[in-house]
Chains A and B, each alone.
Chain A
Amino acid sequence: MQFGIFTVGDVTTDPTTGRTVSEYERIKSMVTIALKAEEVGLDVFATGEHHNPPFVPSSPTTMLGYVAARTERLILSTSTTLITTNDPVKIAEDFAMLQHLADGRVDVMMGRGNTGPVYPWFGQDIRQGIPLAIENYALLHELWRKDVVDWEGRFRTPLQGFTSTPRPLDGVPPFVWHGSIRSPEIAEQAAYYGDGFFANNIFWPKEHYMRLIGLYRQRYAHYGHGTPEQAIVGLGGQVFMRKNSQDAVNEFRPYFDNAPVYGHGPSLEDFMAQTPLTVGSPQQVIDRTLGFREHFGDYQRQLFLMDHAGLPLKTVLEQLDILGEEVVPVLREEFAVGRPAEVPDAPTHASLKAAAREVSVG
């Protein structure tokens, strides 16, 4: 099972000091956080993509390319790549390039984006979000698998005799996850292709995500990729930890109370009871996270949101130390217990390459 972190890349004022970092500081912090993720033994770093303030990561492959050059093992991913408003041709090129530079340590998570104005800024219409996600991904899928593509669709200029370069490393396209918080159409899309499905599992009650993951698993089997239990599921989670749980609560509360998304709403206690957020001791985080398996089945990837709401870099790095030293090693052991042998690991470049070779030999 893979463990990692995902970041939104928000610039939020630290409510305890009133200090707002510059974009430069935030971007550099994100890189420091990514490098720290590898240092403490995590497997994955994923960055969001946004095209409006207060977010900085508009150019994920630039950032991930830089991180790739300074890491050895870390898998670089996104959370999410906007399949609606990016040109699928450019996604195909950018991520294939990144894949070569990173020696295959790359996968990508498709998402639609829910910020209305971003669509017209990129010449699209949010009401076409699902059709855009379906058509653009169908093209991307083809561009990575066919050397010469003739193509015509609804949303993009037609292509005649087009070859997306560079070709995917070793002829193996990056593994794709599809992220969605509410759309059965996207669960269906992920199932159809045999791709992964990721539920961000933050901010909303778990029941909400259970429905979509259940649907994805069932349709994954329907399309003949394996049993429902073998479908490739990723989950998010949000945690804040200190040795003593009351210290964690006291320290995190001002960030919670003023956070974008849920701040100025429910109490921290209510939100912890109603959503997967865990603020407490490392043991509480371990127990809660292990509980995800009861609700969603054995899964392949767990990403934590660690660095939003204005938390200072120093605090985030401390959190990553706790996560890497005290939490993830226990989770690795515990998740392995009772995990059926037929439940696969998350695909990696190496495993996909091996599988491709098997197919061509067999």
Chain B
Amino acid sequence: MRTLAVVSAGVTVPSSTRLLADRLAAAVGGQTEVSVEVVELRELATDIAQNMVTGFPSPRLAAAIEQVTGADGVIAATPIFTASYSGLFKSFFDVVEHDALVGKPVLIAATGGTARHSLALEHALRPMFTYLRAVVVPTAVYAASEDWASAGGDDLAHRIARAAGELVELMTGRPPSAAPPEEQVIPFEQQLAALRLPRERE
């Protein structure tokens, strides 16, 4: 079975970010069989801050990072704070190894008080995951306060279904996530030889 990691950076309990993330995960689950693991960043806030200071993750943060980097697909959801992703959301991805999400299908989602902030998904989250060389699905899902009020057949439900479909297509179109390869050693002679090559002409 494929695995789906849901990263939620909502800070209240319950949170609308988590609610959106759960709806997205359910929509993915409705289209293909997945096992879902949720990483609530709120519960890891102190561990993440400590990782910033010490340079290594606590055991439970390491376990959460492994859930995300080992999954076949990721839903990454954050509240929009001060025109961008929350600091907690960014901090989590700051402590993940930079090449750990290469090629990973990612669905980005955000919540906010007003729809005016919806493009933060496109100018903040999408470039961040592009930098990490993850594959971000075309449909990003933003839920403003008013979206939770509109009845069935609404825009939000459509966007959730479309984004989930895009993620499922990426997740099922690639081989299941394997353990990362063992560290490759470059033999010493090769390292030396690389230095002995004639200098390139400027």
A interface residues, Cβ below 8 angstroms from B = 130-131, 134-135, 138, 153-154, 184-185, 188-189, 191-192, 203-205, 208, 211, 215, 219, 223, 261-262, 264-266, 270-271, 274-275
Contact = CB atoms under 8 A, between A and B. Distances in A.
Interface stretch (B23-31, B48-56, B164-172, B173-181): B48-56
A138 B53 contact: no
A188 B54 contact: no
Contact of A154 (B49, B59, B188, B199): B199
A203 B55 contact: yes
A153 B183 contact: no
A87 to B, nearest CB: 17
Q: Which of A189, A191, A265 has the most CB of B within 10 A?
A: A265
A265 B95 CA distance: 15
A154 B53 CA distance: 36
A46 B191 CA distance: 29
A130 B192 CA distance: 11
Contact of B191 (A134, A208, A215, A270): A134
A95 B185 CA distance: 31
A246 B143 CA distance: 52
A274 B188 contact: no
A274 B192 contact: no
16 contacts: A130-B191, A134-B188, A138-B192, A154-B199, A185-B186, A188-B186, A188-B188, A191-B188, A204-B54, A211-B183, A215-B185, A223-B188, A261-B54, A265-B49, A274-B58, A274-B59
Nearest to B52: A265
Nearest to A223: B188
Given A189-B191, A211-B183, 19 more contacts: A130-B191, A131-B191, A131-B194, A134-B191, A134-B195, A153-B195, A184-B185, A185-B191, A188-B185, A188-B187, A188-B191, A204-B55, A205-B56, A261-B54, A265-B52, A265-B54, A271-B54, A274-B58, A275-B56
A192 B189 CA distance: 9
A312 to B, nearest CB: 25
A262 B54 contact: yes
Contacts of A184: 183, 185
B54 A266 contact: yes
Nearest to B189: A192
B66 to A, nearest CB: 13
Interface in B143-160: none
A134 B55 contact: no
Shortest beta-carbon contacts, A-B, top 6: A265-B53, A192-B188, A266-B50, A265-B50, A135-B195, A265-B54
B195 A262 contact: no
Nearest to B55: A204
A215 B183 CA distance: 9
Interface residues of B, number: 20
B91 to A, nearest CB: 14
A204 B51 CA distance: 11
Contacts of B199: 154
Nearest to B188: A192
A188 B183 CA distance: 12
Contacts of A153: 195
Contacts of A185: 186, 191
Nearest to A265: B53
B188 A189 contact: yes
Nearest to A190: B188
A204 B50 CA distance: 12
B54 A203 contact: yes
B58 A270 contact: yes
Contacts of A203: 54-55
A188 B189 CA distance: 10
Given A131-B195, A135-B195, A188-B188, A204 B183 contact: no
A215 B55 CA distance: 22
Nearest to A208: B56
Contact of A219 (B53, B56, B185): B185
Contact of B53 (A191, A192, A215, A264): A264
Interface in B33-55: 49-50, 52-55
Nearest to A132: B195
A204 B191 contact: no
Contacts of A131: 191, 194-195
A41 B55 CA distance: 35
Contacts of B195: 131, 134-135, 153-154
Contacts of A192: 188-189
Contacts of A204: 54-56
A219 B190 CA distance: 14
B88 to A, nearest CB: 17
Contacts of A223: 188
Contacts of A205: 56
Contacts of B53: 262, 264-266
A203 to B, nearest CB: 7
A323 to B, nearest CB: 25
A153 B194 CA distance: 11
Nearest to B53: A265
